[in-house]
Amino acid sequence: MSWVKLVIQINATHAEPLCDALIEQGALSVDIHDAAADTQDEQMLFDEPGEPSGEIWRNAEVSALFNQGVNIDEIARKAANSAQLDHPPCYRLEHVEEQDWVRLTQSQFDPIQISTRLWIVPTWHQLPDAAAINLILDPGLAFGTGSHPTTQLCLDWLDRNLRPGDRLIDYGCGSGILAIAALKLGASQVIGIDIDSQAIKASEENAIRNQCETTKYIFVTAQEATGMDFQIARQADVVVANILANPLIMLASLLEQAVLHKGRIVLSGILQEQANEVKIVYQQWFDMDVAALKEGWVLLTGIKR
């Protein structure tokens, strides 16, 4: 079985109305992406929680998938009218053959080496180094496959700096990757916290998959965390938060309270141009420093005074 993909270059104003119109015309799926993707003109978009969203690439492309045999000329004309375009758009067609989508998706995720002793390995791959610390992790609903620079920055810091016996809080735990890595690297106790219940479920499943000792970890939602008395809450040796700049600023006093005197805080999810603003906020309590930089993302760390 195969399908036909209709690809239309459009300005940002008309992209979403055109998507809606194509769905009305029977499209099996639609998506909007940057027409300049993978070129020097690619436009990077970043949204922060609590800020207005919905920005679309200046030069967008709309792709729509249809069954074979449909009248594409008629579909494009009717969709253009419905989206109130001045004239029928120029378009190109691509043929999409049926594939083993599971295998294709898996092929995009190879083992990732963080350091000489730390790897992230999907379940369908052989261990590249059986003697290494291998985090067994598949892509899922929660953030944290190890492929993003912010996750790699945090993992590298933990590998180099976590001390055996440290108690750690992972705020915004996502898939649980940082919490699980901390346990594998010798942490005595870990609490993972996230606003998303799906992330908590994913973290628990990943901890079991990685054979972590159940007495050494707990994953809870942020709402649950505020209403419970944890043994290591407010006395963690390390608090790591790989989220985004705005929530890091809003959560600063909460995260500060969880760190012991002389304890360490590790902050990621921060773009290079946002680093100074975040650093200034946390300098009220910590001696802060830029610990690392990767692909435009910054890792900030600090020692509590």
**Residue 224 CB neighbour total at 10 angstroms:** 13
**Residue whose token pair is 């009218």:** 81
Beta-carbon contacts of 45 under 8 Å, excluding residues fewer than 6 positions away, are 55, 56, 57
- pLDDT per position as a tens digit, 55-100: 667 778 999 999 999 999 999 999 999 998 877 778 999 988 776 5
Which ranges in the chain are annotated with CATH 3.30.70.120? 2-98
Structure-block tokens of residue 99: 């594939």
CB burial readout 132-141, b (16+ within 10 A) else e: bbbbbbbebe
Structure-block tokens of residue 157: 């810091």
Nearest to 213 by CA among 197, 192, 233, 190: 190
- pLDDT per position as a tens digit, 178-194: 999 999 999 999 999 99
SS3 percent helix, strand, coil of the chain, rounded to 5, is: 30, 30, 35
Average pLDDT, the chain: 88
Structure-block tokens of residue 176: 């649980």
Task: State the pLDDT at residue 38.
Answer: 63
Per-residue pLDDT of the chain (305 residues; tens, 9 = 90+): 788 999 998 888 888 999 999 999 999 999 998 877 766 666 665 554 444 445 667 778 999 999 999 999 999 999 999 998 877 778 999 988 776 555 555 556 789 999 999 999 988 888 989 999 999 988 765 677 788 999 999 999 999 999 999 999 999 999 999 999 999 999 999 999 999 999 999 999 999 999 999 999 999 998 888 766 554 556 799 999 999 999 999 999 999 999 999 999 999 999 999 999 999 999 999 999 999 999 999 999 999 99
Task: State the pLDDT at residue 118.
Answer: 96
CATH number of the domain at 2-98, out of 3.60.20.10, 3.30.70.120, 1.20.1260.10, 3.30.420.40? 3.30.70.120
Cα–Cα distance for residue pair 45/54, rounded to 1 Å: 10
Domain 109-304 fold is: Rossmann fold (3.40.50)
Which ranges in the chain are annotated with CATH 3.40.50.150? 109-304
